Structures are given as C-alpha cells and as structure tokens.
Structure 1
C-alpha cells in the first residue's frame, strides 16, 4: 500500500522489547508528523528565528511568519533534526524543547503525550537510534506528496492495529471508496466549480486522518487550480486528530478548522453550514454513553435542532450523523449544500412506523424524504472495507436539487462494479477501479432508469406506507359480539393485527393525502374477504418510510427443472455406491 509506510514500519521494529506492538504508534506516529513538519520548516528556519527575536507576541509573530514564508505555523527552537544528534547527552531535553516551541495552533503532540515517550525512549537507550533513522527520511512535500503521506499514515495505523489485534477500519476509509463519494458529491456542481477564484467549504464530522478532506481538495484543484477549498473537520480519536491536523498544517490550511471532540455531543462548528459535507461514520456502534446529552438536545433544541426528526436505537448511531450532515448543509437561500455519507444497510429499513411522540429511524427517513433531501443512494460492492465485508451504501443529500430530480430518489446498484485485488487487505478483497467509478458516476449523471438492473428513479412517496391496526370483535360465551356503552363492538386484543399499506397501493400518487381512500380500498380488497367482521381503528394509524433497496433490484431466478435435479442426484448416488464398493473390497 505504501513503500514509505513499509520503511517507517521497519523503524518500529527497533522498538521491540521495551515496547509492545500496541504501543508502537505512540512513538512512530508523532515522530513521523514531527519529521514531516521539520522538513517543511527547514528552508526558512533562520528567517523565523530572526522574526522570533523581534516579536514577542505569538499572534503578531504568526502574522509576520505568514507574510515571510506563506505558512500559518512556525517553530522558534534552536533545535531541529539537523542538529539534534550533535548533543548526545542533551538529546531528550533538546527534543522536548523543539516540540514546545511550535506555534500555539500546533497542539498535535499533546494528543500523543509525546514528552512521556521521549523519556521512555531515552531510558531504553532507543532515542538516538530512532531519531537517526527518521533523520534519514526526506518528508518534504516536494519529495513525498500529500496523497503519499496520507497513504503512509494509514498504512502504519493499519499495521500497528493488526499487530495489536485491534480494529483498523475505524480509522480510515479506502481511497477507492472515497474517490467515488467525492466524484458523486461534486458531480452535480462540477460546472460551477470551474469558475475562476471560487471559494467553497467542505466539512467532515468524522474526519479520521483526513483522507476524505484530502481527496476532495485534490478533486477540486484538479478541475480548477485557482479554486480555494476551505476544509473543516472534527475527530474524537486523538491519534487520528493529530494526523489530520498536521496534514492540513503541511498544506497551508488554517489548522483551527480541525477540532478535537465528539461531534454528536459537542458540535465544534455550531451555527455554521457548509457547501459540501461528507462522512464515513462508525457502523453499528452504540451511543448509550452519550444518550443523556443527545436526548437532552433532541428534547430542548426544538423543531429546528439537528436531532429533531427522530432518534435511532442506541445500538447504532449512524443515522445521528446522517441528521447532523443534513443540518450542516448550507441553506437553499444561501446557495444550498450537498452531503455524502457511507453507511451500512440498516438505515434503509431499521425502525417501524412510529408514534409522532416517539420518532425513530422511520421518522428520520420520513423527514428526509418529505423534505426532498435524498438525491441518490448507491450500493457499493461487498468486501470493500478493511474490517468488514458487509454491504455498504453511499447516500447523497441535496437541498437544492435540479428541477428534473425534484421529488425523486435515484437508486443505483453499483455492487457489480468492482475489480478483484491481487492481495486482500484485511476483509478488503475488492476495489473500485477508475473505470468502475466512471461507470457508476455516469449512471448518476445520466439520471435514467433505462437500464432497470442498475438504476431506478422513484418518487419520494413510493417509500411511504401506513401501518393500519385491524380489529375484530370480542365474543361472549354464546358467540355474540361484546359491545361497550355506546353499543360499539369491543375489540379482541388477541385477534388484533396490523397491515402495512403502501402509499402507492392501487396506483395512487397522492402520498399521505390519499390516506382514507387508499386504506379503505386496501382494506376492502385485501382484508374483508378473509375476515368480514373486521374493522379499522383509524385512531391508531401510523406513517412509516423504508427504502427496500434489495427488493427493487431483486432478480428472480427460476428453480431448475425437477428432471435435471433428479439426474444430478442419480449421478451423486452412483458415485457414493462406487466408493462404498471400493471400501467393501
């Protein structure tokens, strides 16, 4: 995956003994970041030291450094990899001094507690050896591109976690999946993105090591080198946060746009919206430990809060991120926004039709679809991710759809567009090649269901249904209906049943407005012929929404003829008899 990553991993082997495999990352990752920043700073080190002697105020110094070097960060130490090894006895102290003298926005080493590791390395007589190895690597962006650096970081994270028998896929998303998401996200806006000197914002609430942000920027600059994409992100894993922030620092971005913390409980960009949003949240991870804060926000934020449409089961928080992204898209009156998110299959169907007082997953889908925010859903091939082989889907949200896409959702079955990898990486045995990706994006931009095996265009109301409670009378000992004071038959709770009635039953296109007529038609045709004494409890009708993706692309395969099956069985029986005869002889 990365030659540079392999080399850095070889340095980690020198830690064997004093360090366990699950501790390697605490040393190697911050040193890789430090060496990367060191290489970037080296050409202008004397200039910065002169400015530091002139300006005491860190904020003023940062402004002057930016003017002189074009970089938003600096280091005022007298030490660097160029001279650290010259003072053998003071190596640990000098290295600590080097880290301390970065500009205030470079807080990445704090999240590794790296000063503690410096002392531990020094005590184990490994510090000089490791620094010597890192000094050999040129990590300047002219030598190692940002994309290669990102690959290297993700390679060594995966290797560290494999060595420690921990999950690697929580930290990053395969590049091929990200490229598809980015292409789909920008597809509807590509013409706009070629305008001169445009400025756009992109946000990832689960930024990880910054892979999505990096490839989105690469896509935009590939189309328009003069464009400016301001990147924003939040990440709760300390190591991933540090890598992501250092990567943006190296590219000259405003590092304060990358925040540390849990997006679900503490939105670092509260009140801010973005042109583009993207995320690959954890799958099937419970949010019980955050439930109190999230439910409080749901109850107190009112109808315009980010979690107002509903709360999913505490066993899976994916749809919380889905709601968060919908909330973060730039408002239509300000130009609109688009969002892309990768999730597993459960957000398509989890949750039954809900009581409006207890909104759930179905309520979230209802809110998204009735507000016409879902633009497309794309099924990815299985075995695409490093830590799972399950089916995954990309959802594209858009609050300013083109006129021909309004009121519809495009479903694309991209599960067959993949290329087998020469060697599996964890559970990842398939990848989306450039050609595969181009075909999927073309299906999206063509916006047609001419080939129903891969693309379908459905109205948003086609995903809705009513859950109808059907009652039957309670009978007395003589077999007569029991009635209440008003003479109405009492229902037999043991015979109570429910029916799910599609909004589109009988060809209706009225959506929920056709409730009474469609439900009555369904009841008369599907229920009354079987239980003529039944009736509908209209007070208990609930609205539900689900997206039965697999059902829409289901291909019926007729069973083989019985004669063909019998012939195969006879052949197998004959083989077994031959084997038994050999044994008997």
Structure 2
C-alpha cells in the first residue's frame, strides 16, 4: 500500500535505517538520489508498457533513438527508461537486487543517467548491498507514491528543497556551500518582478537563467514567485553548475519540478558556456566571492582578445585573483535585448540580479580591467540599482555584499540613472546563527526595499545619480625637473657607482675620480660658490676637468654623469630636451577629475595656484569608473565634547582610587 504525504518527513525517515551504519553527513548521499529515482519511476509508470514495446528488437547494449522513445514515454517528458523493472518489481528478486537495480538505473536515457553518475549512485548501491540495507531502502521508497497526480511538480519541488536543507543541516556543513539564503533570493526576484505589468498576461512565457546554479535555489524561488503572480505562466528554468554534486541536486530538483531535463548543464560557465545562442528574460546569479580564475585564464583571455565585444569579455578582464566581474559580464550577455515589438506579454530587454562583494564597486584604478568593465556597464546604461545588504547575511562569509540590478530596457525615468539603496540596517537578528549568518531579511524588510526601488525617489536610504557621476578621468600632472649641481663627495660616489662608468675600466674610472675631486676643490675656492643652478656652466666645468684628465666621454654618458651630480632644487634651472621641460618623475602626481569637467580648467583651478609650472601629460590620461557606495550614505558623527570625556575619565579614576584605598586598608 502506498503512502501519501504532504511533507518530506517520511522520505527523510529513511535515515532511521541508515543510522549506525552511515554517518549523518552521508544520509543525503543516499536519500536524495533515491528520492529522484522514486519520482522518475512514478512519472514514467503510465507509459512504461509503450516504451518496452518500442524497444523490442533493439540491441540491449545500444540506446534506441531518443526521439522515438520520448514520444512513447509521453510528450511531456524529455527522458525515458527501457528497463523491464520498476521499484516494485525489483523487490521480487532480493538475490539479484543489486544487479537489477544497477541495470534499471543504467536503462534511463543518458540525460537522466548523468544525474546518477554525478551522485556516484553505483557506489551507493554497492555500499548499501554490502551492509544488507539495499532492500530495506528500496522498500521504503517504493511505499512513497510520488506520482504527479498525488504530488504535483510544485509540491515535489518544495519537498526536494526541504530534503536539501535537511541534508545541509545533517552534514553540519556551511549552508552557503549549498544555497544562497532564501530571503536574499526572494528580495532579488521581487526586485526583478517589480513593475512587470506584462507578467500577468495569461499564458505568458518567462525564461529564467542562473549561470552559477548551485543546487537550484534561485531558480526555484523565481519559479514560485512568478507562479504566485500568474498561475498560468509558463516558466522555463535553465542553468549551469560546475560542482558535480550541486549539479546533480539542481538537475534532479528541476526534473522533479517537471522542467525539461536538458535545461541544467554541468560545466564551467566561463570556459564552456551553455545555451550559447540563447538569451533570457531574467538572470540570477551568486558567483563565488574572491575566487581566482587561473584555470580558466587561457580560454577567457583568448575570447577577450579574439572575439572582443562580439564575445562576453570585450570590455576588459579583472585581476586573476577574483573572477566575479567575469560572471557579471557573462550574465549581461545572456539578458535579452529589447524586442521593440510591443506585443502583449512580450517583455523587452532582460533583467538580471547578481550578488557581489564590495570589490567590484571600486577595485582597480582608471584604465584597469575592473574600471573598464564598470565604465562599459555604465556607458551602456545596463546598471539600474545597487542594494547594499547587511553584513553577516551569508552562511560562509560575514563581509559586506551588494545586489546589482541590471536592466537592458530601463523605463524612461531611469534612463542614464543609477539608484543606490542602503539596506544595511534592514534586518533582524537570528535566534541562532548558522555558520557566518547571524542576520536575516524579514518579509517586512523585503517589502520596504522593494518599495524604495519602485518609488525611485531620493530618501535617506535611496540616492539617485546620473551614470556619469561615477565616471572620471585620471590625469597625470607633471612638474619640471629643476636641479642644482655640485661636485660634492657624496654625489661623486654616486657617479662612480654607475654601471656605465664602471665599464670604462679601472684606469679611466681613477682618472674620472681625480677630475671630479679636482673640480670639487676648484668649486669650493670659486667665488660663485660650491653649488650652481646653471646646468650649462656646470657642464662646462666638468668637461674642462675631464679633458684635463685625458678623458673622452660620449655625450650620453656625460648627460648621465651631470644628472647624477644634480639634485632637486625648486630654484634650479629647468632641464629641457628639444626645447621642452623634462618632467621630474619623483614629483609626478595624478588627479581624478569629474567626468563633466574640463581637465585643463581643473588644472588651472586646483593645481596651478600651488604649482604654477605644472602641466598635464595628455598621453597618460585614463578614463575610469567607480561606485563609492558607502561614501554616499556616510553620516558624520561628531566626537564627544572634551569636557564630557574628561568627566567620564575622572569618574573612572575616582572608582579606581577608591578600590586601591580599600585594598590598602
């Protein structure tokens, strides 16, 4: 007799059978794949006779044409199983159970076998058999009727998500290894769906994509929220995941939800992107924070250099130590371009939400890869909003995090605008922390943040800027090289230590030393003084001394020696080359000039009053962009009055003195 249930308690109770033989962190490795197997078995049961009839005559070792078997299995499903067994009949032959179960699993179409391979299910079967648990586990799951008529796709999806959560708890692992906090995902999805008038159109179709799908939590929440707004909506969930275990869980979750099984792909999004010729209505991602992309470097760099802006990484490449901005560019590339059709229910450009740490906001100066990427995002008006989240929101990190909202089809009032929302204080403390997660965003907090987004007004927690407010130019300010010259002993030693001088040979170096020291003595006796500001006069003195010593030096070496005998002096003669001042590298400086200001006007106002001889080397001017989120919400708190601090100190010192007196007594 089958058991009907509305929660995963019965399924997870299989842990009672495993207890003692398996450790807690291993329960999910058994329960999750068996849950998937039970669901698939129930889903395919009505069409099994037709599939078995269709495979008659085919070589048992060769897979029949997939299209034909899919038709026999039912147009609704993109997978099949050609085995004569099912979970109930497998129990009839306990002696051959291990072999028959392995055959049953291997008889699934390749797109389903992939799930069990990633779960390493054959190893699980062998291990259960070795511990005399295989039949008991199989009987347990055969009792659960998971047919869609009993447990629909939505309910099955929630059951599987609950099992994933229990698995994370049982394994005592950082939950962040498995999923993004659900309330963060709900906030992201709520923002994406806000003001989406076409979403209520009957039968509307929406594609949701996650390039870092993990266990599928973001896709599941998006599905739930869209269906809550429009039960008749068709939601296609697609994603890619690198970690084999997370991929297996995600793909299995999508299967039990009734999604096409090929919608979840295993692989590296950066080097082997799935769905190459497809874009999506919505994109969601929580890429790994601060993880390097060394292993992907060759492929990513080649795409950047060869494909340019026709590829994903045309704007630039971030430093190898953090690849999060690569995922940002990838996500943008997968959002739909505005259609311009105006058809009911046909949304224009795609919208995306991605979780990033603080680094992508400001890391890298003008001309760096990170800065170029930010400027490209702003230039193309893709960035709509950035939401600053509270710290301690994620299971595996307590750092500050930000949600970037991307939109390829902004409303008119948001054109060339960026909204910053400070939600860092919008949270409630958890009764019990989980890993690094000590705070959570409540339903009321989500409503408040979404309201700030929808209203798009300047408030204490919402600031609105032009895209160019975050752009700037970095100018290089040069000052002329001004030197005084002297044949001082310490300067002579610097000259003699030059490699170009050492190459002259011991004899020539000795004569050069004599010449310089003689010139030093002559300078001391000179009425004009030991130090001169005239390079021409000083060089003439040096050449006289060098000639007297029988030295014939090349002009380049003479210049090097004179430079080494010089030291900075603001009253010194300006060194020139080809009639133009030579810049002093030691005095070189840079200035960031706001985007809408002329760099020369800035120089005249901000620099020249203090350094009249300064100029801009325009060949070194770089364009940059940064988003100083925290600065725009900073509130100055004046220090306490000194009188108040002194009073508190006196009170503390008084208590200390009183206690010391008590000790003495």
Q: Does TM, normalized by the shorter one, top 0.5?
A: yes
What stretches of structure 2 of length at least 5 have no aligned partner? Answer: 1-5, 59-63, 341-347, 485-532, 534-568
Alignment match, 1:221: 227
- Counterpart of 1:533 (choices 613, 638, 645) is 613
Distance 1:42 1:428 in 2: 43
Distance 1:472 1:329 in 2: 48
**Deviation digits for residues 372-413 of structure 1, max 9, x if unmatched?**
110111111222111111111111111111111001001111
Is 1:66 matched with 2:146? no
Indicate the structure (1 or 2) with the bigger Cα radius of gyration: 2
Is 1:204 matched with 2:210? yes
Cα drift, residue 367 of structure 1: 0.3
Does the Cα contact within 8 Å between 1:73 and 1:249 map onto a contact in 2?
no
Distance 1:499 1:81 in 2: 72
Which is worse superposed, 537-546 or 573-582?
573-582
CA RMSD of aligned residues (A): 2.6
Does the Cα contact within 8 Å between 2:48 and 2:73 map onto a contact in 1?
no
Cα drift, residue 54 of structure 1: 9.8
The verdict on how the C-alpha distance between 1:348 and 1:6 changes in structure 2, with shifts beyond 3 A counting, is farther
Cα drift, residue 287 of structure 1: 0.6
Distance 1:569 1:308 in 2: 60
TM-score, normalisation: structure 2: 0.79
Cα drift, residue 177 of structure 1: 0.6
Cα drift, residue 441 of structure 1: 0.6
Cα drift, residue 201 of structure 1: 1.5
Distance 2:67 2:110 in 1: 9
The verdict on how the C-alpha distance between 1:246 and 1:52 changes in structure 2, with shifts beyond 3 A counting, is farther
Alignment match, 2:432: 423
The verdict on how the C-alpha distance between 1:8 and 1:469 changes in structure 2, with shifts beyond 3 A counting, is farther
Is 1:579 matched with 2:659? yes
Does the Cα contact within 8 Å between 1:466 and 1:544 map onto a contact in 2?
yes
Distance 1:131 1:86 in 2: 11
TM-score, normalisation: structure 1: 0.89
Cα drift, residue 139 of structure 1: 5.0
The verdict on how the C-alpha distance between 1:416 and 1:387 changes in structure 2, with shifts beyond 3 A counting, is same
Alignment match, 2:371: 362
Write out aligned runs for 1:97-112 (5 A). Answer: 97-106=103-112, 107-112=114-119
Does the Cα contact within 8 Å between 1:157 and 1:168 map onto a contact in 2?
no
- Counterpart of 1:351 (choices 364, 372, 376) is 364
Alignment match, 1:340: 353
Does the Cα contact within 8 Å between 2:356 and 2:401 map onto a contact in 1?
yes
Cα drift, residue 57 of structure 1: 4.1
SS at match of 2:610: coil
- Counterpart of 1:437 (choices 446, 451, 458) is 446
Alignment match, 2:236: 230
Does the Cα contact within 8 Å between 1:77 and 1:97 map onto a contact in 2?
yes
Is 1:484 matched with 2:582? no
Alignment match, 1:544: 624
Write out aligned runs for 1:121-520 (5 A). Answer: 121-135=128-142, 137=144, 139=146, 142-143=150-151, 145-159=155-169, 161-162=171-172, 167-188=174-195, 190-333=196-339, 335-354=348-367, 359-449=368-458, 451=459, 453-477=460-484, 478=533, 479=569, 480-503=572-595, 511=596, 514=597, 517=598, 519-520=599-600
Which is worse superposed, 382-391 or 24-33?
24-33
Is 1:38 matched with 2:41? yes
Cα drift, residue 171 of structure 1: 2.7
SS at match of 1:206: coil
Cα drift, residue 284 of structure 1: 0.7
Which is worse superposed, 332-341 or 282-291?
332-341
Cα drift, residue 115 of structure 1: 1.0
Alignment match, 2:528: none
Distance 1:108 1:376 in 2: 37
SS at match of 1:86: coil
Alignment match, 2:121: 114
Is 1:562 matched with 2:642? yes
Distance 1:13 1:577 in 2: 64
SS at match of 1:295: helix
SS at match of 2:308: coil
Cα drift, residue 460 of structure 1: 0.3
The verdict on how the C-alpha distance between 1:201 and 1:551 changes in structure 2, with shifts beyond 3 A counting, is same
Alignment match, 1:507: none
